Chains A and B, each alone.
Chain A
Amino acid sequence: MNTIPELLSETVAKHKNRIAIVEEGKKVSYPELQSMVNSLSSYLTSLGIKPGDRVAILLPNSIEFIVGFFSTVNIGAISVPVNPTYGEEEIRFYISHSMAKLILTEERLSKTVDKLKGPESKVVVVKGGERGLSIFGKERENGLRVSINPHDEAIYLYSTGSTGKPKRVSRTHLNIIALANNHTETIGWSEEDRILLSIPMSHTYGFGNFISAIKAGACIYTVEGFNRRKIIDLIEKERITVFPAVPFMLEALANTPFPRPTDFSSLKFVISAGAPLSKETFERFFKRFHIPPRQLYGSTETGVIAINLSKDIENRFGSVGQPVKNVEVKIFREDGSQADIGEIGEIAVKSPSMTTGYHGLPEETQRSFRNGYYFTGDLGKIDEDGYIYIVGRKKLFINISGNKVDPQEVENVISRHPKVREVAVVGVKGSDEKEAVKAVIVPKEKIEAGEIYEFCRGKISDFKIPRIIEFREKLPKSPTGKVLREKLR
Protein backbone atom coordinates (compact mmCIF):
# COMPACT_ATOMS: atom_id res chain seq x y z
CA MET A 1 0.00 0.00 0.00
CA ASN A 2 1.75 3.14 -1.24
CA THR A 3 -0.98 5.50 -2.35
CA ILE A 4 -3.98 7.10 -0.65
CA PRO A 5 -6.59 5.38 -2.89
CA GLU A 6 -4.95 2.05 -1.94
CA LEU A 7 -5.16 2.98 1.74
CA LEU A 8 -8.91 3.56 1.43
CA SER A 9 -9.60 0.46 -0.66
CA GLU A 10 -7.64 -1.76 1.76
CA THR A 11 -9.62 -0.41 4.71
CA VAL A 12 -12.90 -0.89 2.83
CA ALA A 13 -11.96 -4.49 1.97
CA LYS A 14 -11.09 -5.23 5.62
CA HIS A 15 -14.04 -3.47 7.24
CA LYS A 16 -17.05 -4.02 4.97
CA ASN A 17 -19.55 -3.91 7.81
CA ARG A 18 -18.15 -0.98 9.70
CA ILE A 19 -19.27 2.63 9.88
CA ALA A 20 -16.67 5.10 8.62
CA ILE A 21 -18.32 8.45 9.39
CA VAL A 22 -21.13 9.70 11.62
CA GLU A 23 -22.38 13.26 11.28
CA GLU A 24 -25.46 14.56 13.13
CA GLY A 25 -26.80 10.98 13.28
CA LYS A 26 -26.18 10.36 9.54
CA LYS A 27 -24.02 7.24 9.10
CA VAL A 28 -21.78 6.27 6.18
CA SER A 29 -20.31 2.76 6.05
CA TYR A 30 -16.89 2.07 4.54
CA PRO A 31 -18.37 0.54 1.34
CA GLU A 32 -20.72 3.55 1.06
CA LEU A 33 -17.75 5.88 1.47
CA GLN A 34 -15.92 4.10 -1.36
CA SER A 35 -18.99 4.31 -3.56
CA MET A 36 -19.41 8.05 -2.89
CA VAL A 37 -15.71 8.58 -3.64
CA ASN A 38 -16.01 6.70 -6.93
CA SER A 39 -19.02 8.75 -7.89
CA LEU A 40 -17.50 12.16 -7.12
CA SER A 41 -14.20 11.09 -8.72
CA SER A 42 -15.89 10.36 -12.01
CA TYR A 43 -17.89 13.60 -11.76
CA LEU A 44 -14.67 15.57 -11.26
CA THR A 45 -13.15 13.76 -14.26
CA SER A 46 -16.19 14.68 -16.35
CA LEU A 47 -15.53 18.32 -15.44
CA GLY A 48 -12.04 18.05 -16.89
CA ILE A 49 -10.00 17.55 -13.71
CA LYS A 50 -6.80 15.69 -14.59
CA PRO A 51 -3.86 14.28 -12.61
CA GLY A 52 -1.78 17.13 -11.16
CA ASP A 53 -4.68 19.63 -11.15
CA ARG A 54 -5.39 21.29 -7.81
CA VAL A 55 -8.78 21.03 -6.17
CA ALA A 56 -9.52 23.30 -3.20
CA ILE A 57 -11.71 21.76 -0.50
CA LEU A 58 -13.39 24.68 1.22
CA LEU A 59 -15.53 22.70 3.61
CA PRO A 60 -15.98 22.28 7.36
CA ASN A 61 -15.47 18.92 9.06
CA SER A 62 -18.10 16.82 7.31
CA ILE A 63 -18.84 13.72 5.26
CA GLU A 64 -18.39 15.91 2.19
CA PHE A 65 -14.89 16.99 3.25
CA ILE A 66 -13.79 13.36 3.56
CA VAL A 67 -15.39 12.30 0.26
CA GLY A 68 -13.97 15.40 -1.43
CA PHE A 69 -10.45 14.66 -0.25
CA PHE A 70 -10.44 11.00 -1.32
CA SER A 71 -12.14 11.78 -4.66
CA THR A 72 -9.51 14.37 -5.54
CA VAL A 73 -6.52 12.17 -4.81
CA ASN A 74 -8.30 9.18 -6.37
CA ILE A 75 -7.94 10.75 -9.82
CA GLY A 76 -4.38 11.91 -9.25
CA ALA A 77 -5.32 15.52 -8.54
CA ILE A 78 -3.90 17.47 -5.58
CA SER A 79 -6.23 18.39 -2.74
CA VAL A 80 -5.93 21.80 -1.10
CA PRO A 81 -7.96 21.87 2.14
CA VAL A 82 -8.95 25.41 3.14
CA ASN A 83 -10.63 26.31 6.42
CA PRO A 84 -14.03 27.83 5.58
CA THR A 85 -13.91 30.10 8.64
CA TYR A 86 -11.02 32.06 7.12
CA GLY A 87 -11.48 35.67 6.02
CA GLU A 88 -12.17 36.48 2.38
CA GLU A 89 -8.65 37.72 1.64
CA GLU A 90 -7.19 34.54 3.08
CA ILE A 91 -9.49 32.30 1.02
CA ARG A 92 -8.63 34.27 -2.11
CA PHE A 93 -4.92 33.79 -1.39
CA TYR A 94 -5.20 30.00 -0.95
CA ILE A 95 -7.29 29.55 -4.11
CA SER A 96 -5.04 31.73 -6.18
CA HIS A 97 -1.68 30.57 -4.77
CA SER A 98 -2.52 26.89 -5.22
CA MET A 99 -3.92 27.63 -8.71
CA ALA A 100 -7.02 25.63 -7.84
CA LYS A 101 -8.84 24.57 -10.99
CA LEU A 102 -11.92 23.60 -9.04
CA ILE A 103 -13.33 24.44 -5.61
CA LEU A 104 -15.51 22.01 -3.67
CA THR A 105 -17.60 23.98 -1.22
CA GLU A 106 -20.95 24.39 0.50
CA GLU A 107 -24.02 26.33 -0.50
CA ARG A 108 -23.62 29.09 2.10
CA LEU A 109 -20.14 29.94 0.75
CA SER A 110 -20.81 29.57 -2.97
CA LYS A 111 -21.53 33.28 -3.61
CA THR A 112 -18.41 34.33 -1.70
CA VAL A 113 -16.30 31.82 -3.60
CA ASP A 114 -17.71 32.97 -6.95
CA LYS A 115 -16.57 36.47 -6.06
CA LEU A 116 -13.09 35.39 -4.90
CA LYS A 117 -12.06 32.84 -7.49
CA GLY A 118 -10.37 33.54 -10.80
CA PRO A 119 -12.31 33.16 -14.08
CA GLU A 120 -10.61 29.86 -14.85
CA SER A 121 -11.72 28.08 -11.62
CA LYS A 122 -14.94 26.10 -11.37
CA VAL A 123 -17.08 25.88 -8.24
CA VAL A 124 -18.96 22.72 -7.26
CA VAL A 125 -21.35 22.80 -4.31
CA VAL A 126 -21.26 19.41 -2.59
CA LYS A 127 -22.80 20.37 0.75
CA GLY A 128 -26.20 21.97 1.21
CA GLY A 129 -28.23 23.50 -1.59
CA GLU A 130 -30.22 21.58 -4.18
CA ARG A 131 -27.56 19.15 -5.31
CA GLY A 132 -25.47 18.61 -2.22
CA LEU A 133 -24.94 14.96 -1.52
CA SER A 134 -26.89 13.91 -4.65
CA ILE A 135 -23.60 14.25 -6.53
CA PHE A 136 -22.45 11.19 -4.61
CA GLY A 137 -25.62 9.26 -5.37
CA LYS A 138 -24.83 7.49 -8.61
CA GLU A 139 -21.74 5.41 -8.96
CA ARG A 140 -20.01 6.00 -12.24
CA GLU A 141 -16.97 3.91 -12.88
CA ASN A 142 -15.68 5.74 -15.95
CA GLY A 143 -12.60 7.82 -15.56
CA LEU A 144 -11.27 6.09 -12.46
CA ARG A 145 -8.41 4.15 -13.99
CA VAL A 146 -5.64 6.58 -13.14
CA SER A 147 -2.12 5.44 -12.47
CA ILE A 148 -0.69 7.16 -9.40
CA ASN A 149 2.97 7.18 -8.48
CA PRO A 150 3.57 7.10 -4.68
CA HIS A 151 5.86 10.11 -5.15
CA ASP A 152 3.14 12.19 -6.81
CA GLU A 153 1.90 15.21 -4.87
CA ALA A 154 -1.33 14.49 -2.97
CA ILE A 155 -2.00 17.48 -0.76
CA TYR A 156 -1.01 21.10 -0.26
CA LEU A 157 -1.20 22.46 3.27
CA TYR A 158 -0.05 25.94 4.26
CA SER A 159 2.36 26.72 7.08
CA THR A 160 2.41 30.00 9.00
CA GLY A 161 5.77 31.68 9.05
CA SER A 162 7.21 35.13 9.38
CA THR A 163 7.19 35.96 5.68
CA GLY A 164 3.88 37.83 5.61
CA LYS A 165 2.13 35.06 3.68
CA PRO A 166 1.55 31.36 4.44
CA LYS A 167 4.07 28.96 2.90
CA ARG A 168 2.91 26.14 0.67
CA VAL A 169 3.88 22.68 1.83
CA SER A 170 3.44 19.77 -0.54
CA ARG A 171 3.14 16.18 0.68
CA THR A 172 3.16 13.11 -1.54
CA HIS A 173 1.00 10.01 -1.38
CA LEU A 174 3.91 8.17 0.24
CA ASN A 175 4.32 10.95 2.85
CA ILE A 176 0.66 10.60 3.84
CA ILE A 177 0.81 6.79 3.98
CA ALA A 178 3.87 7.07 6.24
CA LEU A 179 2.04 9.57 8.44
CA ALA A 180 -0.96 7.24 8.88
CA ASN A 181 1.29 4.24 9.57
CA ASN A 182 3.51 6.05 12.10
CA HIS A 183 0.54 7.53 13.92
CA THR A 184 -1.67 4.45 14.16
CA GLU A 185 1.13 2.02 14.97
CA THR A 186 2.42 4.24 17.78
CA ILE A 187 -0.92 4.95 19.41
CA GLY A 188 -2.43 1.56 18.64
CA TRP A 189 -5.71 2.62 17.05
CA SER A 190 -8.04 -0.08 15.76
CA GLU A 191 -11.39 -0.52 14.01
CA GLU A 192 -13.01 -0.44 17.46
CA ASP A 193 -12.05 3.20 17.98
CA ARG A 194 -14.50 6.09 17.72
CA ILE A 195 -12.76 9.39 17.08
CA LEU A 196 -14.39 12.76 17.66
CA LEU A 197 -13.06 15.37 15.24
CA SER A 198 -13.95 18.91 16.18
CA ILE A 199 -10.52 20.32 15.35
CA PRO A 200 -10.51 21.33 11.67
CA MET A 201 -9.54 18.57 9.25
CA SER A 202 -8.27 21.26 6.90
CA HIS A 203 -5.27 21.77 9.22
CA THR A 204 -2.39 19.37 9.71
CA TYR A 205 -3.46 18.20 13.20
CA GLY A 206 -7.04 17.37 12.24
CA PHE A 207 -5.97 15.96 8.89
CA GLY A 208 -3.43 13.62 10.53
CA ASN A 209 -6.06 12.27 12.88
CA PHE A 210 -8.60 11.85 10.06
CA ILE A 211 -6.30 9.92 7.72
CA SER A 212 -5.00 7.76 10.59
CA ALA A 213 -8.57 6.93 11.66
CA ILE A 214 -9.39 5.77 8.12
CA LYS A 215 -6.20 3.67 8.02
CA ALA A 216 -7.28 1.96 11.26
CA GLY A 217 -10.84 1.35 10.02
CA ALA A 218 -12.12 3.44 12.93
CA CYS A 219 -15.31 5.49 13.03
CA ILE A 220 -15.00 9.28 12.66
CA TYR A 221 -17.56 11.58 14.29
CA THR A 222 -17.39 14.89 12.47
CA VAL A 223 -18.33 18.08 14.28
CA GLU A 224 -18.28 21.55 12.77
CA GLY A 225 -16.77 24.05 15.19
CA PHE A 226 -16.56 23.73 18.96
CA ASN A 227 -19.72 23.47 21.02
CA ARG A 228 -19.09 22.33 24.60
CA ARG A 229 -22.40 20.61 25.27
CA LYS A 230 -22.44 18.89 21.88
CA ILE A 231 -18.94 17.55 22.56
CA ILE A 232 -19.96 16.26 26.00
CA ASP A 233 -23.14 14.63 24.62
CA LEU A 234 -21.26 12.88 21.83
CA ILE A 235 -18.52 11.57 24.12
CA GLU A 236 -21.10 10.15 26.50
CA LYS A 237 -23.74 8.82 24.11
CA GLU A 238 -21.48 7.55 21.33
CA ARG A 239 -18.86 6.17 23.71
CA ILE A 240 -16.06 8.12 22.00
CA THR A 241 -12.59 6.62 22.56
CA VAL A 242 -10.30 9.33 21.14
CA PHE A 243 -10.73 13.10 21.46
CA PRO A 244 -8.07 15.27 19.84
CA ALA A 245 -8.26 18.87 21.07
CA VAL A 246 -6.32 22.07 21.59
CA PRO A 247 -5.64 23.30 25.14
CA PHE A 248 -8.25 26.03 24.85
CA MET A 249 -10.98 23.41 24.26
CA LEU A 250 -9.83 21.38 27.27
CA GLU A 251 -9.76 24.49 29.41
CA ALA A 252 -13.26 25.54 28.27
CA LEU A 253 -14.65 22.06 29.03
CA ALA A 254 -12.95 21.95 32.42
CA ASN A 255 -14.22 25.44 33.35
CA THR A 256 -17.81 25.08 32.17
CA PRO A 257 -20.39 24.69 34.94
CA PHE A 258 -22.33 21.64 33.69
CA PRO A 259 -25.47 20.94 35.70
CA ARG A 260 -24.75 17.20 36.09
CA PRO A 261 -21.71 14.92 36.39
CA THR A 262 -20.20 13.80 33.08
CA ASP A 263 -19.23 10.28 32.05
CA PHE A 264 -15.97 10.18 30.09
CA SER A 265 -15.21 6.55 30.95
CA SER A 266 -15.17 5.48 27.27
CA LEU A 267 -12.23 7.77 26.45
CA LYS A 268 -8.84 6.13 25.99
CA PHE A 269 -7.04 9.21 24.68
CA VAL A 270 -7.55 12.91 25.08
CA ILE A 271 -4.90 14.49 22.90
CA SER A 272 -3.69 18.05 23.27
CA ALA A 273 -1.70 19.78 20.52
CA GLY A 274 -1.26 23.09 18.78
CA ALA A 275 -0.20 25.08 21.85
CA PRO A 276 1.49 24.35 25.18
CA LEU A 277 -0.69 22.55 27.73
CA SER A 278 -0.49 24.43 31.03
CA LYS A 279 -0.23 22.64 34.35
CA GLU A 280 -3.44 24.29 35.47
CA THR A 281 -5.43 23.07 32.43
CA PHE A 282 -3.96 19.56 32.71
CA GLU A 283 -4.88 19.32 36.38
CA ARG A 284 -8.35 20.81 36.05
CA PHE A 285 -9.28 18.56 33.13
CA PHE A 286 -7.83 15.43 34.75
CA LYS A 287 -9.52 16.14 38.09
CA ARG A 288 -12.89 16.81 36.53
CA PHE A 289 -13.07 14.12 33.82
CA HIS A 290 -10.65 11.52 35.24
CA ILE A 291 -8.63 11.20 32.04
CA PRO A 292 -5.27 12.93 31.54
CA PRO A 293 -4.75 15.01 28.39
CA ARG A 294 -1.64 13.80 26.52
CA GLN A 295 0.42 16.19 24.47
CA LEU A 296 1.14 15.52 20.82
CA TYR A 297 3.68 17.39 18.74
CA GLY A 298 3.44 17.87 15.01
CA SER A 299 3.91 20.37 12.25
CA THR A 300 2.49 21.10 8.82
CA GLU A 301 5.90 20.30 7.33
CA THR A 302 6.25 16.85 8.94
CA GLY A 303 2.90 15.61 10.23
CA VAL A 304 2.92 13.99 13.66
CA ILE A 305 6.31 14.02 15.37
CA ALA A 306 5.82 12.78 18.94
CA ILE A 307 3.18 11.87 21.51
CA ASN A 308 3.32 11.50 25.25
CA LEU A 309 2.22 7.96 26.12
CA SER A 310 4.00 7.97 29.49
CA LYS A 311 2.52 5.85 32.27
CA ASP A 312 3.75 8.51 34.66
CA ILE A 313 1.72 11.22 32.96
CA GLU A 314 1.10 13.27 36.10
CA ASN A 315 4.81 13.96 36.42
CA ARG A 316 5.46 14.11 32.69
CA PHE A 317 2.41 16.00 31.40
CA GLY A 318 4.64 18.88 30.27
CA SER A 319 6.44 16.73 27.70
CA VAL A 320 5.24 16.23 24.11
CA GLY A 321 6.50 12.68 24.51
CA GLN A 322 8.79 10.45 22.51
CA PRO A 323 9.01 10.38 18.70
CA VAL A 324 6.39 8.25 16.94
CA LYS A 325 7.56 5.20 14.97
CA ASN A 326 10.00 5.85 12.11
CA VAL A 327 10.52 9.46 13.17
CA GLU A 328 13.83 10.78 14.46
CA VAL A 329 14.16 13.90 16.61
CA LYS A 330 17.42 15.64 17.50
CA ILE A 331 18.35 18.85 19.25
CA PHE A 332 20.97 21.04 17.60
CA ARG A 333 23.03 23.92 18.95
CA GLU A 334 23.38 27.23 17.09
CA ASP A 335 26.75 26.06 15.67
CA GLY A 336 25.11 22.99 14.10
CA SER A 337 26.48 20.44 16.56
CA GLN A 338 24.18 18.06 18.40
CA ALA A 339 23.11 19.11 21.90
CA ASP A 340 23.65 16.91 24.95
CA ILE A 341 20.85 15.28 26.94
CA GLY A 342 18.87 17.99 28.72
CA GLU A 343 20.56 20.80 26.79
CA ILE A 344 18.30 23.32 25.05
CA GLY A 345 18.63 23.81 21.30
CA GLU A 346 16.56 23.80 18.13
CA ILE A 347 14.34 20.76 17.56
CA ALA A 348 14.99 19.05 14.22
CA VAL A 349 12.98 16.21 12.72
CA LYS A 350 13.63 13.50 10.14
CA SER A 351 10.50 11.71 9.02
CA PRO A 352 9.25 9.70 6.02
CA SER A 353 6.09 11.81 6.16
CA MET A 354 7.80 15.20 5.80
CA THR A 355 7.87 17.58 2.87
CA THR A 356 11.08 18.58 1.10
CA GLY A 357 10.58 22.35 1.20
CA TYR A 358 8.43 25.40 0.60
CA HIS A 359 7.08 26.13 -2.84
CA GLY A 360 8.82 29.11 -4.46
CA LEU A 361 10.82 30.00 -1.34
CA PRO A 362 14.37 28.71 -1.86
CA GLU A 363 15.90 30.76 0.99
CA GLU A 364 13.27 29.70 3.53
CA THR A 365 13.68 26.10 2.34
CA GLN A 366 17.44 26.23 2.68
CA ARG A 367 17.15 27.67 6.17
CA SER A 368 14.65 25.10 7.45
CA PHE A 369 15.58 21.91 5.58
CA ARG A 370 19.19 20.84 6.13
CA ASN A 371 20.97 17.46 6.02
CA GLY A 372 17.70 15.56 5.75
CA TYR A 373 16.21 17.30 8.80
CA TYR A 374 13.43 19.82 9.11
CA PHE A 375 14.46 22.50 11.60
CA THR A 376 11.21 23.33 13.37
CA GLY A 377 12.13 26.72 14.83
CA ASP A 378 11.00 25.35 18.21
CA LEU A 379 13.48 25.38 21.08
CA GLY A 380 13.52 22.30 23.25
CA LYS A 381 15.40 19.56 25.01
CA ILE A 382 15.29 15.77 25.32
CA ASP A 383 15.63 14.06 28.69
CA GLU A 384 17.48 10.83 29.51
CA ASP A 385 14.38 8.75 28.69
CA GLY A 386 13.93 10.33 25.29
CA TYR A 387 11.02 12.62 26.25
CA ILE A 388 10.92 15.88 24.34
CA TYR A 389 10.15 19.21 26.05
CA ILE A 390 9.39 22.37 24.10
CA VAL A 391 10.58 25.49 25.90
CA GLY A 392 10.22 28.30 23.37
CA ARG A 393 10.52 29.24 19.75
CA LYS A 394 12.91 30.96 17.38
CA LYS A 395 10.35 31.89 14.77
CA LEU A 396 8.39 35.11 14.87
CA PHE A 397 4.78 34.04 15.15
CA ILE A 398 2.03 34.20 17.74
CA ASN A 399 0.17 31.13 18.95
CA ILE A 400 -3.50 31.81 19.65
CA SER A 401 -5.01 28.69 21.17
CA GLY A 402 -3.29 26.50 18.57
CA ASN A 403 -3.77 28.87 15.64
CA LYS A 404 -0.53 30.38 14.37
CA VAL A 405 -0.53 34.07 13.52
CA ASP A 406 2.13 35.73 11.39
CA PRO A 407 2.50 39.29 12.80
CA GLN A 408 3.51 40.62 9.41
CA GLU A 409 0.28 39.41 7.83
CA VAL A 410 -1.76 41.34 10.43
CA GLU A 411 0.47 44.42 10.02
CA ASN A 412 -0.11 44.30 6.25
CA VAL A 413 -3.88 44.51 6.78
CA ILE A 414 -3.92 47.21 9.48
CA SER A 415 -1.41 49.41 7.66
CA ARG A 416 -3.95 49.78 4.83
CA HIS A 417 -6.33 51.68 7.12
CA PRO A 418 -6.32 55.32 5.95
CA LYS A 419 -5.87 56.66 9.50
CA VAL A 420 -2.86 54.43 10.29
CA ARG A 421 0.63 55.76 9.78
CA GLU A 422 2.57 52.80 11.17
CA VAL A 423 1.79 49.55 12.96
CA ALA A 424 3.68 46.73 14.65
CA VAL A 425 2.09 43.51 15.88
CA VAL A 426 3.43 41.33 18.69
CA GLY A 427 2.31 38.46 20.90
CA VAL A 428 1.81 39.20 24.59
CA LYS A 429 1.29 36.72 27.39
CA GLY A 430 -1.30 37.24 30.07
CA SER A 431 -1.15 36.04 33.67
CA ASP A 432 -2.54 32.68 32.45
CA GLU A 433 0.46 32.27 30.09
CA LYS A 434 -1.82 32.39 27.03
CA GLU A 435 -0.77 34.54 24.10
CA ALA A 436 -2.83 37.35 22.63
CA VAL A 437 -2.28 39.49 19.53
CA LYS A 438 -1.37 43.09 20.32
CA ALA A 439 -1.15 45.90 17.77
CA VAL A 440 0.75 49.08 18.51
CA ILE A 441 -0.46 51.76 16.13
CA VAL A 442 0.88 55.21 15.25
CA PRO A 443 -2.20 57.01 13.91
CA LYS A 444 -2.28 59.80 11.35
CA GLU A 445 -5.35 61.26 13.05
CA LYS A 446 -7.70 60.40 15.92
CA ILE A 447 -8.93 56.82 15.71
CA GLU A 448 -10.78 54.38 17.98
CA ALA A 449 -9.86 50.72 18.54
CA GLY A 450 -13.32 49.73 17.29
CA GLU A 451 -12.48 51.15 13.85
CA ILE A 452 -9.48 48.81 13.65
CA TYR A 453 -11.57 45.79 14.72
CA GLU A 454 -14.18 46.66 12.11
CA PHE A 455 -11.54 47.17 9.42
CA CYS A 456 -9.96 43.77 10.08
CA ARG A 457 -13.22 41.87 10.32
CA GLY A 458 -13.78 39.63 7.31
CA LYS A 459 -10.33 40.36 5.86
CA ILE A 460 -8.48 38.01 8.19
CA SER A 461 -9.59 35.20 10.50
CA ASP A 462 -11.03 36.42 13.79
CA PHE A 463 -8.24 34.89 15.89
CA LYS A 464 -5.72 37.10 14.04
CA ILE A 465 -7.51 40.36 14.93
CA PRO A 466 -5.57 42.06 17.75
CA ARG A 467 -7.30 41.71 21.09
CA ILE A 468 -5.19 44.53 22.48
CA ILE A 469 -4.74 47.79 20.59
CA GLU A 470 -2.45 50.52 21.83
CA PHE A 471 -1.93 53.91 20.22
CA ARG A 472 1.49 55.57 20.45
CA GLU A 473 3.13 58.65 18.98
CA LYS A 474 5.97 56.58 17.52
CA LEU A 475 7.33 53.05 17.45
CA PRO A 476 10.60 52.21 19.24
CA LYS A 477 13.26 51.52 16.61
CA SER A 478 16.93 50.59 16.39
CA PRO A 479 19.41 52.97 14.70
CA THR A 480 18.92 50.97 11.50
CA GLY A 481 15.15 51.49 11.62
CA LYS A 482 14.16 48.00 12.78
CA VAL A 483 11.14 47.96 15.11
CA LEU A 484 12.19 46.87 18.61
CA ARG A 485 9.38 44.43 19.23
CA GLU A 486 10.51 43.61 22.77
CA LYS A 487 9.66 47.19 23.76
CA LEU A 488 6.08 46.82 22.52
CA ARG A 489 5.02 44.02 24.83
Chain B
Amino acid sequence: MKEDIRERVKRVLREKFTDSTKQLEIKDDTPLFGIGVGVDSVATLEFVIALEHEFQISIDEGEIKPEILATVDTISEFIATHVLKKSG
Protein backbone atom coordinates (compact mmCIF):
# COMPACT_ATOMS: atom_id res chain seq x y z
CA MET B 1 0.00 0.00 0.00
CA LYS B 2 2.82 2.41 0.90
CA GLU B 3 4.43 2.13 -2.53
CA ASP B 4 1.08 2.88 -4.15
CA ILE B 5 0.60 5.94 -1.91
CA ARG B 6 4.10 7.21 -2.77
CA GLU B 7 3.47 6.94 -6.50
CA ARG B 8 0.14 8.73 -6.22
CA VAL B 9 1.73 11.50 -4.09
CA LYS B 10 4.40 11.95 -6.77
CA ARG B 11 1.71 12.25 -9.43
CA VAL B 12 -0.14 14.93 -7.42
CA LEU B 13 3.16 16.79 -6.93
CA ARG B 14 3.85 16.75 -10.67
CA GLU B 15 0.36 18.11 -11.36
CA LYS B 16 0.41 20.85 -8.69
CA PHE B 17 4.04 21.95 -9.00
CA THR B 18 4.48 21.61 -12.75
CA ASP B 19 7.07 24.37 -13.16
CA SER B 20 9.48 23.15 -10.53
CA THR B 21 9.09 19.41 -11.16
CA LYS B 22 9.22 19.24 -14.95
CA GLN B 23 13.01 18.76 -15.08
CA LEU B 24 13.31 16.88 -11.83
CA GLU B 25 13.10 13.24 -10.91
CA ILE B 26 11.11 13.12 -7.70
CA LYS B 27 12.53 10.49 -5.37
CA ASP B 28 11.14 9.24 -2.07
CA ASP B 29 13.62 11.39 -0.15
CA THR B 30 13.68 14.48 -2.39
CA PRO B 31 13.29 17.56 -0.13
CA LEU B 32 9.88 18.95 -1.15
CA PHE B 33 10.67 22.47 0.08
CA GLY B 34 13.12 22.73 -2.82
CA ILE B 35 10.29 22.38 -5.34
CA GLY B 36 8.04 24.84 -3.56
CA VAL B 37 5.95 22.61 -1.29
CA GLY B 38 5.19 24.42 1.97
CA VAL B 39 6.71 27.68 0.78
CA ASP B 40 3.42 29.52 0.97
CA SER B 41 0.11 28.70 2.60
CA VAL B 42 -1.97 29.05 -0.59
CA ALA B 43 0.13 26.50 -2.50
CA THR B 44 0.13 24.23 0.53
CA LEU B 45 -3.64 24.25 0.85
CA GLU B 46 -4.06 23.57 -2.88
CA PHE B 47 -1.74 20.57 -2.49
CA VAL B 48 -3.68 19.35 0.57
CA ILE B 49 -7.02 19.60 -1.26
CA ALA B 50 -5.56 17.64 -4.17
CA LEU B 51 -4.41 14.93 -1.73
CA GLU B 52 -7.88 14.86 -0.13
CA HIS B 53 -9.41 14.19 -3.53
CA GLU B 54 -6.79 11.63 -4.51
CA PHE B 55 -7.10 9.58 -1.32
CA GLN B 56 -10.69 10.44 -0.31
CA ILE B 57 -9.58 11.62 3.14
CA SER B 58 -10.05 14.78 5.26
CA ILE B 59 -6.96 16.68 6.38
CA ASP B 60 -7.22 19.53 8.86
CA GLU B 61 -5.04 22.57 8.10
CA GLY B 62 -3.70 22.37 11.67
CA GLU B 63 -2.19 18.93 11.01
CA ILE B 64 0.07 20.18 8.24
CA LYS B 65 3.43 20.76 9.89
CA PRO B 66 6.71 21.37 8.00
CA GLU B 67 8.06 17.94 9.07
CA ILE B 68 5.09 16.25 7.36
CA LEU B 69 5.79 18.13 4.15
CA ALA B 70 9.52 17.30 4.22
CA THR B 71 9.70 14.50 1.60
CA VAL B 72 7.52 12.11 -0.41
CA ASP B 73 8.21 9.57 2.33
CA THR B 74 6.99 11.77 5.21
CA ILE B 75 3.81 12.93 3.47
CA SER B 76 3.10 9.33 2.36
CA GLU B 77 3.45 8.08 5.95
CA PHE B 78 1.01 10.77 7.07
CA ILE B 79 -1.49 9.83 4.34
CA ALA B 80 -1.14 6.13 5.16
CA THR B 81 -2.29 6.78 8.75
CA HIS B 82 -5.33 8.70 7.44
CA VAL B 83 -6.17 5.95 4.94
CA LEU B 84 -5.84 3.27 7.63
CA LYS B 85 -8.02 5.30 10.03
CA LYS B 86 -10.65 5.64 7.34
CA SER B 87 -10.68 1.96 6.46
CA GLY B 88 -11.12 1.24 10.03
Contact = CB atoms under 8 A, between A and B. Distances in A.
Interface residues of B, number: 22
Contact of B33 (A228, A259, A454): A454
Interface string B16-43: 0001100000000001011110011111
Most buried by B among A257, A454, A467, A468: A467
A449 interface: yes
A252 B45 contact: yes
Interface string A256-286: 1111000000000000000000000000000
A463 B34 contact: no
Given A467-B40, A469-B20, A450 B45 contact: no
Contact of B41 (A228, A255, A257, A462): A462
A401 B42 contact: yes
B75 to A, nearest CB: 16
A453 interface: yes
Contacts of A457: 39
Contact of A453 (B33, B56, B60, B61): B33
B49 A252 contact: yes
Contacts of B58: 229, 257-259
Contact of B34 (A259, A449, A467): A449
Nearest to A400: B42
B62 A227 contact: yes
A384 interface: no
B60 A229 contact: yes
B39 A227 contact: no
Contact of A450 (B33, B52, B53): B33
B41 A463 contact: yes
A225 B52 CA distance: 20
Interface in A446-475: 448-450, 453-454, 457, 462-463, 465, 467-469
A418 to B, nearest CB: 18
B61 A467 contact: no
B40 A463 contact: yes
A373 interface: no
A229 B61 CA distance: 9
B40 A468 contact: no
A102 to B, nearest CB: 29
Contacts of B62: 227
A248 B42 contact: yes
Nearest to B17: A467
Given A252-B45, A450-B33, A462 B52 contact: no
Given A227-B61, A463-B40, A467-B43, A255 B49 contact: yes
A465 B61 contact: no
B42 A453 contact: no
B27 to A, nearest CB: 14
B40 A448 contact: no
Given A462-B40, A462-B41, A468-B20, A448 B49 contact: no
A256 B50 CA distance: 9
Contact of B35 (A225, A226, A401, A449): A449
A258 B33 CA distance: 28
30 contacts: A225-B61, A227-B60, A227-B61, A228-B61, A229-B58, A248-B42, A252-B46, A252-B49, A255-B49, A256-B52, A257-B53, A257-B58, A258-B58, A400-B40, A400-B42, A449-B20, A449-B34, A449-B35, A449-B36, A450-B33, A450-B34, A462-B40, A463-B41, A465-B39, A465-B40, A467-B36, A467-B39, A468-B19, A468-B20, A468-B36
Given A252-B45, A450-B31, A467-B19, 9 more contacts: A229-B58, A248-B42, A252-B46, A400-B40, A449-B20, A449-B34, A450-B33, A463-B41, A465-B40
- Complex A-B, nearest 8 residue pairs according to Cβ-Cβ distance, in ascending order: A450-B34, A462-B40, A468-B19, A227-B61, A463-B40, A401-B42, A465-B39, A467-B36
